Amino acid sequence: MTGVNLSSPHGEALKAAGEVDGRSLWQDAWRRLLANRAAFISLIVLVTLGVVSVVGPYVLPWTYDQIDWDHVEAMPPNFAMGHYFGTDSVGRDLLARTLFGGRISLMVGILATTVALTIGVTVGAVAGFVGGKVDQLLMRFVDLMYAVPLTFFVIILMVLFGRNFILMFLAIGAVEWLTMARIVRGQTLTLRNKEFIDAARASGGSTTAIIIRHIVPNVLGVVMVYVTLTIPQVILLESFLSFLGLGIQEPMTSWGMLINDGAAELEINPRTLIIPAAFMTVTLFCFNFLGDGLRDALDPKDR
């Protein structure tokens, strides 16, 4: 009797067809994301920006810290000299600086978010799944961290460890993981009462195995969306810190710093503000559109 389906002609045909590859929820989501035009275009723009930022500085005739002594005054675009966006007030090529700044900004965005993602997901999943005292302890620590002002925290780190590029990633990551942890914990709480978690425990899975195998993959949908919203936040945070002089240092630069410099010369030379600001705005827009698209694509109600 177990072969009800197998013995039917249709069943035989299916059986002969061999293994059918399943379409995972991720594949479905990917398909829906591609169908969302704004998200798809955003994705392309972001990838292009990333590639150009990484490759660009090697290809351009000027480097980001090279001063063109013939044009120390801010100069309008001059194609003959290779200054496609002109130079800044001290004669450095603006395009090279914008692309280099993009490198830093995107790197901060992605690295700090990865730090936040790793810590946040681990803490949130453990707190939510184990519950009880562990949950209380971890979440009260999160509350405590929330209460520490960011600038204060960064200044303390700077004083303790000196000014360091890597430190900024850590500082931003250490602040951004808090919200991530709360989100993941909330999701985990709804998941842990699902029957498949009970089934996993009944079939001999340890707590660690269940968290890794079942909890984390299932919260990743929500987390992915939050990540795309965190990256622009982190980029903005970096420019804020650089603006205060706590972030990147000259001659290195980031979009935040370029905008800061440009703002000082707004009246004489609006170009030096508009160009990096445009790059940053486009990036932030794209991340937001991508986040929206991902949220729709991963929403189970669309299924």
Partner 1 sequence: MTAPLLQVRDLKVHFQVRSGGLFGTSIPLKAVDGISFDLKAGETLGIVGESGCGKSTLGRAVLQLLPATAGTVAWLGSDLTALDKAELKAQRRNMQVVFQDPLASLDPRMTAGDIIAEPLRNYHAELSTAEIKARVKEMMEQVGLLPSMINRYPHEFSGGQCQRIGIARAMILKPQLVVCDEPVSALDVSIRAQIINLLTDLQRRFNLSMLFISHDLSVVRHISHRVMVLYLGKVMELADRDALYRTPRHPYTQALISAVPIPDPEKERAKPRVIVNGDLPSPLNPPSGCVFRTRCPKATEICAQVAPPLEHAGAGHEVACHHWRE
Angle at 234 between CA 45 and CA 150, to 5 degrees: 170
**Closest CB 96 distance from partner 1, rounded Å:** 44
Interaction pattern, residues 21-40, with partner 1; x per rule: CB under 8 A: xxxxx---------------
Q: Which stretch binds partner 1 (CB under 8 A): 5-13, 59-67, 69-77, 100-108?
A: 5-13
Give backbone dihedrals phi and psi of 148, rounded to 5 degrees, phi first.
-85, 125
φ and ψ of 93, to 5 deg: -65, 125
Among 35, 156, 199, 278, binds partner 1 (CB under 8 A): 199
- How far is the C-alpha of 60 from the C-alpha of 52, rounded, in Å? 11
Member of 48, 118, 206, 249 binding partner 1 (CB under 8 A)? 206
Q: Give the tokens for residue 147.
A: 């209460």
Binding window for partner 1 (CB under 8 A); candidates: 54-62, 71-79, 211-219, 271-279: 211-219
Return the ∠ at Cα 47 (arms to 215 and 254), rounded to 5°.
100
Assess whether the previous peptide bond of 251 is cis (omega < 30° from 0).
yes
Cβ 190 to partner 1, closest distance in Å? 12
Site for partner 1 in 254-273 (CB under 8 A): none
Judged by CB under 8 A, the residue of 131, 205, 236, 284 near partner 1 is 205
Answer yes or no whether residue 136 interacts with partner 1 by CB under 8 A.
no
Phi, psi of 87 (to 5 degrees): -120, 165
Minimum CB distance to partner 1, residue 206 (Å)? 8
- State how far the Cα of 77 lies from the Cα of 271, in Å rounded to an integer: 10
Task: Write phi, then psi, for 18 (nearest 5 degrees).
Answer: 80, -175
20 touches partner 1 by CB under 8 A: yes
Question: Binders of partner 1 among 179-198, rule CB under 8 A?
Answer: 194-196, 198
Written as one letter, the residue type at 9 is: P
Residue 6 as a binder of partner 1 (CB under 8 A): the answer is: yes
9 belongs to the binding site for partner 1 (CB under 8 A):
no
Out of 9, 17, 133, 267, name the contact with partner 1 by CB under 8 A: 17
Report, in Å, the least distance between residue 67 CB and partner 1.
54
3-state DSSP assignment of residue 78: strand
Q: Rounding to the nearest 10 degrees, give the CA dihedral for residues 210, 212, 216, 218.
A: -50
The residues with which 83 forms a beta bridge, in sequence order, are: 78
Residues at the contact surface with partner 1, assessed by CB under 8 A: 1-6, 11, 14-15, 17-25, 194-196, 198-206, 209, 213-214, 217-218, 303
